[in-house]
Amino acid sequence: MAEKKHIRKQIFEKRKELTQEQAEQDSREICKKVFALSQFQKAACVYAYVDYNKEVCTREIIEKAWEMGKRVAVPKVTGPGTMKYYYLESFEQLKPGYFQIPEPAWGKEAEEEDAFLIVPGVAFDENRHRAGYGQGFYDRYLASHRKHPTAAVAFEFQIVEEVPAEVTDVFPDLVITEKRVIQ
């Protein structure tokens, strides 16, 4: 079983080879699958990450949620090991934050405990085990906010044979790629 560190290195290499055009095209396919989910359709609020460095593009998910009259919130690192969600009403609110990842520079802290939450990650397996970026922000957040229905979005090349699971890991309910939905 490969270590998460090794898996991250492999996936980052593959991500470097991905063209921006291919990332955008595959992201559109992933977004279509997200929009079809009952969890997305029923949600009054969507918590989504803001993509960075050829992650699955989430702008379309955010825009669709706004179009449908949903509230949207995105994460912001607020202290050592701490991440909170803040309402996003415009992309103008975003400024480079933790590790240059776009975060809201202002806004009100989000309060929905049952918002549909889109989870990022570096790699996943067919059991929905997740290798994140190694800081544990999402695992800690989801461990203390358990009512969120969750879906991870990933490119098909991010699905690996096995991601080692740790007791602190919180697995997404679904993993959605441009080719399939893993439940």
Per-residue pLDDT of the chain (183 residues; tens, 9 = 90+): 469 889 999 999 999 999 999 999 999 999 999 999 999 999 999 999 999 888 999 999 999 999 999 999 999 999 888 899 999 999 999 999 888 889 999 999 999 999 999 999 999 999 999 998 878 888 888 888 889 999 999 999 999 999 988 887 788 999 999 999 999
What are the residue ranges spanned by the domains of the chain? 4-182
Name residue, tokens 């912001």: 76
Angle formed at CA 17 by CA 133 and CA 123, multiple of 5 degrees: 30
The rounded distance, in Å, linking the Cα atoms of 70 and 72 is 6
User: Distance between CA atoms of 137 and 84, rounded to whole angstroms?
Assistant: 9
Q: How far apart are CA 181 and CA 125, in angstroms?
A: 12
State phi, psi for 126 to the nearest 5 degrees.
Answer: -70, -10
What is the three-class DSSP state of 164?
coil
Q: By CB neighbour count within 10 A (0-12 exposed, 13-18 middle, 19+ buried), where does 108 fall?
A: exposed
- Strands 116-119 and 123-124, bridge-based pairing: unpaired
The predicted model scores a pTM of 0.92
Sheet holding 174-176, edge to edge: 82-87, 71-79, 45-47, 116-119, 150-153, 174-176, 181-182
Q: What is the fold of 4-182?
A: Rossmann fold (3.40.50)
